[in-house]
Structure 1
Amino acid sequence: MLDRRTLIAGSLAAAGLAARAGAQTPPPAAAKALPPGLPQPTETIDLWPKGPPSRPASPLTETVDERSTDALVSDRAVYGVTRPRMAVFRPDRPNGAAVLLTPGGGYKWIVVDKEGYEIARWLTARGFTAFVLFYRLPGEGWSSGPDTPLADAQRAMRLIRHRARDFAVDPERVAAMGFSAGGHLCADLATRFATRVYDPVDAADRLSARPFLAAPVYPVVSMDPAIAHAGSRNLLLGPSPSAALEAAHSPERNVPADAPPHFLLHAEDDEVVPVENTVRLRAALKAKGIPVEMHLFANGGHGFGLRRAIGKPVEAWPDLWRAWARTMGFA
C-alpha cells in the first residue's frame, strides 16, 4: 500500500525525470521512412549542459545523409554535430553492465545505424545497456582541435557513471567499443582516459573516464603515415602534423600501465585500414602487461559490423567479445 505522500513524491520524481528527458536534444533525424520493426532510440543525454567547452571556427548545421536505397535498410551518416549526445538503448532486463559505442566514419561523419544502433540492439537483447555517442568531429574547426572527440568520450563515460542508478548499471562496469575511426576514439579513450582535455563542469567530472574494458574493432590506431588511414589522419591532425602531434594521437604510443583489458578485432583483407594498426596496438598493450585478446580473420574487409559479417567466419565476432567479456568479469 502506498500512502498519499509517497504517491506525490513519486509523481514529482517522475515529472522531473520526464522534464529532464524532454529537454535533451533528440537523436539525429531520419532522412526517410525508417524500416519497420526496428526500435529507434527515444532517450538521449546531452553531454554538456551549457554547450561544448570549445567552439567551431564557423557555424555548423547538423546534417543526416541516408546512404541506403533499400527501404528495409537504413544507413545514415551524421555530421555537423554541435550538441554532442548519447542515444540510450535500455534492455528489458538489465544485467548491470553498460557499453559506450563510438561509431566510425573516418572522422568525416558518424555512422548511425551500422556501427551504432544495430550494435546497440544486439547488446540490449543480451542485457547490456548501450549508449551510442554522437561526438564532435575534429575536422570541423573546433578550437579544441584533435582532442575534441576525446573530450566528448571522456565526458560520456563520466556521465554514464554519474547516472548509473538511473539505468540500473554498476558504475564500475562501463565498457567502450568503437569501430574504424570510432575505434581510434575508443583506443584513445582507453589510453588517455586520465589526460585532461577539458575543464570540469560539474560533479560528474570527478569520476573516472577509464573504461572497464575496451574493444576497438577494425580500428584506426596509428597516425604513422606508413599505416595510418589517410583520411582520418588528415581530419584529426591536419595535412602537416608535427612528429609530436602524431605521437600524441597514436594510442599504441600512449598505453599507460593501468590501461583496461582490450579485445581487438580486424580482418586481414581490410583495404581501408591496414591490419597493422591492430597488430601494433596489441604489441604495445602486451609490452605494458595489459590483458589483451586479438582475433584476426582472413576475410571480412572493412566496416563489416553485424550485417556485412553474415555468412562469413567473422560473423562470430560479437559472441567472441561476449565470451571474453565474461572471463573479464564484465557480464
Structure 2
Amino acid sequence: MIDRRQAMLATLALGLPSVAGAQTAPPRLAGKAPVAGLPEPDETIDLWPKGAPGQPAKALIETVDERSKDSALTDRAVYGISRPRMVVFRPRIPNGNAVLITPGGGYRWVVIDKEGYEIARWLAARGWTCFVLFYRLPGEGWAAGPDVALSDAQRAMRLIRAGARDYGIMPERVAAMGFSAGGHVCADLATRFDASTYAPVDAADALAARPDVAAPIYPVQSMRLPFAHPGSRDLLLGHNPSAALESAHSPEDIVSASTPPTFLVHAEDDSVVPVENTLRLRAALKAKGIAVETHLFTHGGHGFGLRRAAGKPVERWPELFVAWAQTQGLS
C-alpha cells in the first residue's frame, strides 16, 4: 500500500516538478485541423528526460494514421513511438483524483481518440485529472522487450505522483485505466507495479508505481491460447512463446495480496478478446481476496469505448466506474 506521508513528503518537501523544459507535442496529423468543438490538448509530459532507455537499433519514425471515414469523427492511431509521453487533460475544478489511461491498439499501435482522449474528456468534465499515455510498443525492437510498455506505465505513475501538487491531485488517489491491449498494460501495472524494469532516473523513481485502483476494460489479459488475442500475444512475446513466458505476462498468474481493487468491464459478444480474459482475472483477484467489481454486458462487441457504447446498456460503464471508485476512496 502507498504510504500517504511518504508520498506527500516526496511531492511537497522535494518539490518535484511535473514538467521540466520543453516537452514533445502530442501525436498529430500534420496539417489537419481538430474537429469543431473538440480542441486538441497541448500539455504533455515526457517520461524520460534523457531519452527512453534501450533504443532500437533502427530509429523509429512516429506515424499517425487516421482510420475514420467520417470527417466529423476522428479515429487516429500512432506507432513508432520513440518519445513516450503523457497528454494531460486538466479539469476546470480538480476533485483530487487522477487517472493514467492506457489506450488499446493490439500492441501494433496506440489509439488516440476512441480509448484515449474521449474518456479523458469525459472524466475531466467530472473533476478527474487525466493522463493519456502513449507508451512504447514491444514489437518495435526495444531492449526491454515485453516489459517496455510496463516500464513506461511505471514511470508515468511515479511522475504523476511527483507532480501531485502542481496538478491539484492527491498522490493516494491515482487510478489506472486501460482498454484492450492497453488493458493488459493496466493489469500488468496493477500486478507488477514493483517489478524492476528500468534503472532509476531521478527522485521520482523512489515513489510508488502501484495504482490505487485499476480498471482494465475488455482487457487482453491471458497470454494462453485460446483466450489470448493472437496479434497482441505475438507482438508482446513473439511466435511460439514458452509456457513460462506466457505465465510471466498473464496478470491472472501474478495477482497478489498487494494488487489494488479492480473494476472490470467486458461484453460477452466480444469476438476479438474473449470474455474469458475478464472472467479468469476476476477469479484470480477473488482468490487473493482483492475487492473486484465486474460488469458483463450482453452486447457491445470489442472496442466500444464511449462512442460504440451509445444507445446500449453498456454505455453506463463510465458512470459505474466513477460510482465504484467513490466506494474505494476516490471521491
Q: What TM-score, normalized by structure 1, do the two folds share?
A: 0.93
Q: Say which is worse superposed, 262-271 or 24-33, in terms of deviation.
A: 24-33
1:140-159 equivalent positions in 2, closer than 5 A: 140-159=140-159
Provide the rounded CA distance (Å) in 1 between the counterparts of 2:119 and 2:226.
Answer: 31
Task: Report deviation, 1:181.
Answer: 0.2
Give per-residue Cα distances to partners, 1:197-231, cap 9 Å, x unaligned: 11111000000000000000000000011210000
Q: 1:22 to 1:41 in 2, by over 3 A?
A: farther
RMSD after superposition: 1.2
Partner secondary structure for residue 100 of structure 1: strand
The reply to whether residue 260 of structure 1 matches residue 267 of structure 2 is no
Task: Report deviation, 1:30.
Answer: 2.6
- Aligned residues of 1:61 and 1:81 also touching (Cα < 8 A): yes
**Counterpart AA for 2:206:** R
Task: Report deviation, 1:39.
Answer: 2.6
Q: Say which is worse superposed, 30-39 or 224-233, in terms of deviation.
A: 30-39
Residue equivalent to 1:137: 137
Which runs of 5 or more structure 2 residues have no equivalent in the other structure?
Answer: 1-16
The reply to whether residue 23 of structure 1 matches residue 17 of structure 2 is no
Partner secondary structure for residue 259 of structure 1: coil
Residue equivalent to 2:36: 36
Give per-residue Cα distances to partners, 1:14-42, cap 9 Å, x unaligned: xxx89x56600000013532211113211
The total of aligned residue pairs comes to: 314
Residue equivalent to 2:306: 306
- Aligned residues of 1:21 and 1:43 also touching (Cα < 8 A): no
Residue equivalent to 1:202: 202
The reply to whether residue 161 of structure 1 matches residue 170 of structure 2 is no
Over 3 Å off, 4+ runs: none
Residue equivalent to 1:105: 105
Partner secondary structure for residue 29 of structure 1: coil
Identity of aligned residues (%): 72
Q: Which structure carries more relative contact order (alpha carbon 8 Å, separation 6+)? A: 2
Provide the rounded CA distance (Å) in 1 between the counterparts of 2:326 and 2:140.
Answer: 39
Q: What TM-score, normalized by structure 2, do the two folds share?
A: 0.93
**Counterpart AA for 1:42:** D
Partner secondary structure for residue 119 of structure 1: helix
Residue equivalent to 1:54: 54
Give per-residue Cα distances to partners, 1:25-75, cap 9 Å, x unaligned: 000013532211113211000000001121113111000000112111111
Residue equivalent to 1:324: 324
Q: Say which is worse superposed, 34-43 or 194-203, in terms of deviation.
A: 34-43
Structure label with greater radius of gyration:
1
Partner secondary structure for residue 293 of structure 1: strand
Which runs of 5 or more structure 1 residues have no equivalent in the other structure?
Answer: 1-16
Partner secondary structure for residue 271 of structure 1: coil
1:231-310 equivalent positions in 2, closer than 5 A: 231-310=231-310
Provide the rounded CA distance (Å) in 2 between the counterparts of 1:174 and 1:56.
Answer: 31
Partner secondary structure for residue 150 of structure 2: helix
Partner secondary structure for residue 282 of structure 1: helix
